[in-house]
Amino acid sequence: MIKLYGFKISNYQAMIKAFLLEKGVAFEELEIRPSKEESFLAMSPMGKVPFIELKEGFLSESTAILGFLENCTADEPMVPADPFRAAQMAQVVNVLELYIGTEAARLNGYVFFGGEFNQSAADDIEPMMVKGLAALNRLGSFSPFVMGDDITIADFFAYYILVNTRLIAKKVWRWDILADVDGLAEWMTMMSQRPFIKLVDDERAVAISKM
């Protein structure tokens, strides 16, 4: 059985867990904190969670994990069958990861863990996020799903990136990023009501409240 390592407050952990549940893949969840210890890096070389363990070995980086899980589950595909559409989906995921999620996450310490505010980082991040969200607005359909009629990996990726990014933008710039992308607010509500996403979000909320 697949082992999923991480901790429940992580948005990336929640993303992989919701995807496993939606795909009906059996897994065991093991609590572990990110670390730079050699023994941890042997499992997840960037010292991050989530990562999974299979009989073949360990796998980290959420896009790689999602791709692997997708390739292992033939039923209910979550990547478009058409190669060009599949590449467009990957393009959306890259925009979300590189120009929105990873940028905003530079302020995680301040927003979620009571760390110091870094004004110069915030000044760098904001224009990149503006561009990223404008790209998302051009590329995404959000009617009803990110890529159109069918749910794909991009929906899971976008939801769990935007859950955190939204809070960061609100606290740092009083910016409602949902207003920057047509249909994003309605899509976010619709995704949050999917039973497995709700289950994972509720667990995450409990973990955050205990922090």
Ligand X SMILES: N[C@@H](CCC(=O)N[C@@H](CS)C(=O)NCC(=O)O)C(=O)O
Helix (H, G, I), strand (E, B) or coil at 53: strand
**Please, which residue, 62 or 165, has the CB nearer to ligand X?**
62
Can residue 100 be called a binding residue for ligand X (CB under 6 A)? no
Can residue 152 be called a binding residue for ligand X (CB under 6 A)? no
| Minimal distance, residue 182 CB to ligand X, in Å | 26
Q: Which two tokens stand for residue 195?
A: 């039973």
Among 2, 5, 12, 99, contact with ligand X (rule: CB under 6 A): 12
In sequence order, the 6+-apart residues with CB closer than 8 A to the CB of 136 are 92, 95, 96, 100, 158, 180, 181, 184
Please tell me the distance from the alpha carbon of residue 162 to that of residue 45, in angstroms, as a whole number.
25
Can residue 48 be called a binding residue for ligand X (CB under 6 A)? yes
**Please, which residue, 15 or 133, has the CB nearer to ligand X?**
15
Segment interacting with ligand X, rule: CB under 6 A, options 8-16, 86-94, 184-192, 194-202: 8-16
Can residue 11 be called a binding residue for ligand X (CB under 6 A)? yes
Number of residues that bind ligand X (CB under 6 A): 9
Can residue 34 be called a binding residue for ligand X (CB under 6 A)? yes
Alpha helices (H) along 37-194: 38-41, 62-72, 83-95, 102-105, 108-113, 119-139, 153-173, 184-192
Segment interacting with ligand X, rule: CB under 6 A, options 42-50, 167-175, 188-196, 201-209: 42-50
Among 21, 25, 53, 61, contact with ligand X (rule: CB under 6 A): 61
Q: How many CA atoms lie within 13 A of 198 on its CB side?
A: 6
